[in-house]
Amino acid sequence: MTTTPIYFTHGDLIAESGNMRIYDFNGLLHLEEGPGHTLWAIEDEIDEYKEQIGNYPRGDCLEIGLGLGIASRHILSCRGVNSLTTVEISEDTIIVQKQAYFIDDKRHEVVCMDGLSYINSTDKAFDFIFMDFYHFIDEEGLPEIETYVKACKRILRKDGKIVGWFDIHTPEEFVEPFYEIFKE
């Protein structure tokens, strides 16, 4: 079962690179991938990010997936965060995010690379790891999420925390299996 994408056909285009676009819909930013304008991120998801990320960010943090940078901004706003490394596979996403929602913080580094490749190749250790997998929560995506979580344990410091983004529109049958992956 795959989650049905959301499509938009209006709004003011404010950033574009390749097939990635950011639109302003009534004062909120939306990151979309075209053609077909599949919705990837919405600026008003901040409350969900705050709830799911909680007070866990501290020390050196890793984020897999940039999107609009909403979670990045929240992580950087948490007390005790020394650094945030964000890994994003799409160069076009990085370009439009910088054009529309630039994060001006010396503690933030964005790396254009596949998340799992980065995790498997880095020697850096992290106190908090956040993975944005909202579009993978189905029977095909759960094994991939599990692979990421297992790989992250190698680079997670003692007493560190791994959190995965949980899309509130995920079908009920995948809720418990998703949370089980993140149990310690």
Provide the whole-model pTM. 0.86
Domain coordinates in residue numbering, the chain? 45-182
Confidence category of residue 136, pLDDT binned at 50, 70, 90:
low
Q: Is domain 45-182 in CATH 3.40.50.150, yes or no?
A: yes
Stretch among 27-31, 93-97, 135-139 having the lowest mean pLDDT? 135-139
On the question of pLDDT at 38 being above 70, the answer is no
CA angle 4, 7, 8 (to 5 degrees): 160
**Pick the residue with more confidence: 119 or 25?**
119
Stretch among 47-56, 65-74, 145-154, 163-172 having the lowest mean pLDDT? 163-172
On the question of pLDDT at 5 being above 50, the answer is no
CA distance 170 to 10: 25
Mean pLDDT confidence for 17-36:
85
Mean pLDDT confidence for 2-28:
75
* pLDDT value of residue 2: 42
3-state SS, the chain, equals CCCCCCECCCCEEEEEECCEEEEEECCEEEEEECCCCEEEEEHHHHHHHHHHHCCCCCEEEEEECCCCCHHHHHHHHCCCEEEEEEEECCHHHHHHHHHHHCCCCCCEEEEECCHHHHHHHCCCCEEEEEECCHHHCCCCHHHHHHHHHHHHCCCEEEEEEEEECCCCCCCHHHHHHHHHHHCC
Residues facing 16 on adjacent strands: 21
Burial class (CB within 10 angstroms; exposed 0-12, middle 13-18, buried 19+) of 180: exposed
On the question of pLDDT at 86 being above 70, the answer is yes
Beta strands 20-25 and 59-64, pairing class? unpaired
